[in-house]
């Protein structure tokens, strides 16, 4: 069913009238609730007689994350699902990204502004490409093959086409990553006298190496944040570090950057470099848990 995109700041016919809206609870007069509602477009299976139930549970899990953490989702955010999007299906879709719904867009309500964010399923190498390049550009490429960014559990990655993959990767390598920061479950630092210890999980270490390459090699800084502290890496002529409240800033020379890229791995251990003798990056194992909190995999 095609749904016409509503005009900006108007209510479509299916949206409840002001006297049936829930009481506004947030203190932000500009936003209704968290400022977004999730949508999802799923390709029908050949043998499907009834709509599947799992997408509803899946969207509820995302909403539960937002309610429990208070972290708002926005366009071009992307998430690792730590497994297939539908556990009972054989699919390469293991990640998602968010984009403004191409038909519903944004509306106004008596309780404030609201954006419809569409959940888009992605394959592993497409997700990696987002971090190496740009979420918007990757979703544009996906949308050329799957209009309205419909998630098809049976589809292959856009990079399965060798010609298209070479063209896209050439653009990504030329432009570098647009992702200036990322949030990880485990990242902290401890400065004592003239020494610095940075502790990160193995999954975060994998992200650090990727973003060091796609950001600093293009003369762009990037930062990653744990629950309480952050670490900012930036390119510079000299190696140095300094603390700024809950943030530590690490400057890397071209020579040290090459050393870090060649040695830092998502494997437990302490990593040191000659030009930064008083800086240690300690990689600890990362635990992947299911929705019930049970550890299902250990990385590093």
Range name among 19-33, 48-62, 223-237 with the lowest pLDDT average? 19-33
Angle at Cα 290 formed by Cα 123 and Cα 223, nearest 5°?
60
pLDDT of residue 68: 83
Range name among 67-71, 231-235, 283-287 with the lowest pLDDT average? 67-71
* Residues in a beta bridge with 248: 231, 243
CB contact burial 129-144 (16+ within 10 A = b; e otherwise): bbbbbbbeebbebbbe
pLDDT of residue 4: 27
Q: Do 215 and 234 touch, CB atoms closer than 8 A? A: no
Domains along the chain with CATH numbers:
18-175 (no CATH), 181-287 (3.30.1360.230)
pLDDT of residue 32: 64
N-term to C-term CA, the chain = 46
Residue bearing the bigger pLDDT, 37 or 2: 37
**C-alpha dist (Å) from residue 256 to 259, 267, 284:** 5, 20, 22
Range name among 90-99, 119-128, 282-291 with the lowest pLDDT average? 282-291
pTM for the model stands at 0.79
Range name among 29-43, 107-121, 251-265 with the lowest pLDDT average? 29-43
Pairing between β-strand 195-201 and β-strand 276-284 as defined by DSSP bridges: parallel
pLDDT of residue 50: 82
pLDDT of residue 18: 41
Phi, psi of 298 (to 5 degrees): -120, 130
Q: Do 241 and 253 touch, CB atoms closer than 8 A? A: no
SS3 letters for the chain? CCCCCCCCCCCCCCCCCHHHCCCCCCCCCCEEEEEEEEEECECCCCCCCCCCCHHHHHHHHHHHHHHHHCCCCCCCCEEECCCCCCCCCCCCEEEEEEEECCCCCEEEECCEEEEEEEEEEEEHHHHHHHHHCCHHHHHHHHHHHCHHHCECCCCCCHHHCHHHHHHHHHHHHHHCCCCCEEECCCEEEEEECCEEEEEEEHHHHHHHHHHHHHCHHHCCCEEEECCCCEEEEEECCCCEEEEECCEEEEEECHHHHHHHHHHCCCCCEEEEECCEEEEEEEEECEEEECCCCCEEEEEC
- Is residue 273 predicted with pLDDT exceeding 60? yes
* Residues in a beta bridge with 80: 95
- d(CA 276, CA 235) in angstroms, rounded, equals 14
Q: Do 260 and 205 touch, CB atoms closer than 8 A? A: no
For residues 76-93, average pLDDT:
92
pLDDT tens profile 215-226: 999 999 999 999
pLDDT of residue 291: 65
**C-alpha dist (Å) from residue 299 to 185, 195, 226:** 13, 27, 18
pLDDT tens profile 162-219: 999 999 999 999 999 999 998 888 899 999 999 999 999 999 999 899 999 999 999 9
How confident is residue 84, by pLDDT bands cut at 50, 70 and 90?
Answer: very high
pLDDT of residue 26: 58
């Amino acid at each position: 069913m095609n749904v016409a995109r509503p005009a900006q700041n108007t209510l479509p016919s299916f949206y409840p009238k002001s006297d049936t809206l829930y009481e506004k609870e947030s203190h932000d007069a500009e936003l209704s609730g968290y400022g977004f509602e999730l949508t999802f477009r799923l390709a029908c299976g050949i043998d499907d007689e009834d709509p599947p139930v799992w997408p509803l549970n899946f969207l509820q899990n995302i909403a539960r994350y937002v309610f429990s953490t208070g972290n708002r989702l926005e366009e071009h955010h992307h998430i690792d699902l730590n497994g297939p999007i539908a556990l009972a299906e054989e699919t390469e879709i293991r990640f998602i990204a968010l984009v403004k719904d191409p038909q519903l867009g944004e509306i106004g309500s008596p309780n404030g502004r609201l954006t419809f964010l569409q959940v888009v399923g992605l394959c592993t190498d497409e997700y990696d490409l987002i971090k190496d390049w740009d979420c918007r550009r990757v979703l544009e490429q996906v949308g050329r093959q799957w209009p309205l960014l419909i998630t098809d559990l049976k589809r292959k990655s856009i990079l399965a086409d060798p010609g298209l993959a070479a063209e896209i990767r050439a653009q990504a390598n030329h432009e570098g990553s647009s992702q200036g920061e990322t949030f990880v479950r485990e990242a902290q630092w401890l400065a004592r006298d003239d020494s610095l210890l940075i502790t990160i999980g193995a999954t975060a270490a994998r992200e650090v190496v990727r973003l060091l390459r796609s950001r600093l090699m293009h003369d762009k800084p990037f930062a990653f944040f744990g629950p309480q502290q952050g670490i900012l890496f930036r390119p510079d002529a000299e190696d140095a570090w300094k603390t700024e409240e809950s943030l530590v800033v690490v400057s890397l020379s071209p020579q040290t950057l090459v050393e870090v890229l060649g040695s830092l791995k998502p494997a437990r251990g302490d990593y040191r470099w000659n030009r930064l003798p008083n800086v240690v990056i300690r990689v600890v194992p990362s635990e992947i848990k299911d929705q019930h909190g049970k550890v299902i995999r250990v990385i590093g």
